[in-house]
Structure 1
């Protein structure tokens, strides 16, 4: 089997104002980096409203839909914009995440990578923020739990910014363990170790700016041990690559090899607990060359480990 790859042209059509870091060029850089990869390429399906309602109230969906402009941009918060194609793009991300969960749980592949935009891990229950409209990975976790009847799902987030939205959406979900490493202090200002969730199932791993590889591994190794004790039946990954040393929005100073190490460790965990089942979704990463290189390295590990 090979790794499933989900994307869609609608995610290129999601337009941001000039100079905004979350540009369509990010997805083009990912696609170029993976052009020679032997992936099972699939169009990201359009999620229906019911999928989104697993995590967001209908009033929020209606408010987002009512804000979409006929042309140009509308602001949902200080850095989150809507253009005419933005909701369709976000629904492609949710649809891809749920379809990847379906396929991996059905045994069509051991793992999958989702390259869509906008990202999702900052979207809270009724609030868009941090470039994100819907909590893509949290919705996929709820889909695995409620639609497929899994008893334990893990969500791992190594984006440089704390996954506050995922934390909010899974705060009361005892069946989902959420682990996030992130630079602190940094946007969005959440993610302290004291934020543990309603059932102690949330693990935050704040890292100092400039702390690099050693601090990352020292934080993740015990967290991975705890995840092994949790014994997830599926692992979902919020794969942000903005911790890279070349990224302009943060300063953790990871190298591409660090994403390889962490991806290998996640695959080791998956092999030991859930038959290698991993679904990874793109979040941040804003230096185009570093993003392409890091995604290619991440996906190469998934491909090799999924065979």
Structure 2
């Protein structure tokens, strides 16, 4: 079965100013690199269905959604925190981004695809049940995870997060949920300045120092993630694919390169093939050096598609 490349035109409409690193050009950088590499012709493209309010309410508080409605500006920007802003199209883009995972899950469960990469923005892994932060409004991965658990009767879902920043919103939503195992690494101390390693048994989020190499990250994954994933035996896997741990990305100070992202993805694919019938949905999170982002996304998608 095939790999889907899912996006939505509304994801280009949200922007937070010319100065802001989380820009529509991120999606263009990925698309351009996929075209240049020839990968685009080997995957199937699909437009995301827009999430409904009910979809969001599985993981977000109703008063939070209402507050975002009131904050949406008719023109210009509304500032949510020092680096998270809304423009008139932000919610349109956010609903589309949140719907991308649902579109992917339906295709995979209907056996028209096996894996998917959701090239969408705004990103999601910092968004908590009632809080936008870190460029994120809705937790796209959490929305898809909750949908999968409810609609398809999946009993065990694994979440992988390899962004340079801790996926604090995802952890907040699923901490203590025995149907979910989250495995991640993140630079620490660093934004969002949350350190919760080993506080909750279903979280394997490993802090690493600045300037940690890709080789050391592979050791973390071999030692910490893979044994827990094999013990958990997930039936579906979601990935928060942040590429800002790349050594060329000034947003963080980790030392990963494209081959590391390919290696990480291949290990996740092996777990999916063993326990989850190969089912993986990946979401774009961080990645702000456009060249490194595009190259890393190509490496990731190639590994997802086993190319």
TM interval, shorter chain, is over 0.9
**Structure 2 residue 124 is matched with structure 1 residue 120:** yes
Unaligned runs of 5+ in 2: none
Q: Distance in 1 between matches of 2:235 and 2:285?
A: 23
Moved >2 Å (runs of 4+): none
Q: What count of residue pairs does the alignment treat as equivalent?
A: 302
Match status 1:277 vs 2:279: yes
Mapped pair 1:84 → 2:85? no
Which of 213, 235, 259 aligns to 1:233? It is 235
Report what 1:302 is aligned to.
304
Deviations 1:136-171 (CA, angstroms, capped at 9, x unpaired): 101111111111111000010000000000001111
Distance in 2 between the 1:139 and 1:173 partners?
A: 15
Partner of 2:75 in structure 1? 71
What SS class does the counterpart of residue 6 from structure 1 fall into? Answer: strand
Cα distance between partner residues in 1 of 2:196 and 2:60: 24
Q: Structure 1, residues 86-115: CA drift from partner, whole Å, max 9, x if none?
A: 111111111111111111122111100000
Q: Which residue of 1 aligns with 2:98?
A: 94
Give the whole-Å Cα distance in 2 for the aligned partners of 1:113 and 1:189: 28
Match of 2:270 in 1: 268
- Over the aligned positions, Cα root-mean-square deviation in angstroms equals 1.0
Q: If the length of structure 1 is used for normalisation, what is the TM-score?
A: 0.96
Q: Structure 2: how far apart are the matches of 1:179 and 1:191?
A: 14
| Superposition map of 1:172-251 within 5 A | 172-196=176-200, 200-222=201-223, 223-251=225-253
SS of residue paired to 1:304:
coil
Unaligned runs of 5+ in 1: none
Tell me by how many angstroms 1:180 deviates.
1.4
Per-residue CA distance 1:175-232 (angstroms, 9 max, x = gap): 0111111111110011442332xxx111111111111122201111131121111001
Distance (Å, rounded) in 1 between the aligned partners of 2:83 and 2:245:
19
Task: Tell me by how many angstroms 1:260 deviates.
Answer: 0.7
Cα contact 1:191–1:205 (8 A) shared by 2: no
Alpha-carbon separation, structure 2, partners of 1:192 and 1:110: 33
Greater Cα shift, 150-159 or 209-218: 209-218
Equivalence for 2:32: 32
After TM superposition, the score normalised by the length of structure 2 is 0.96
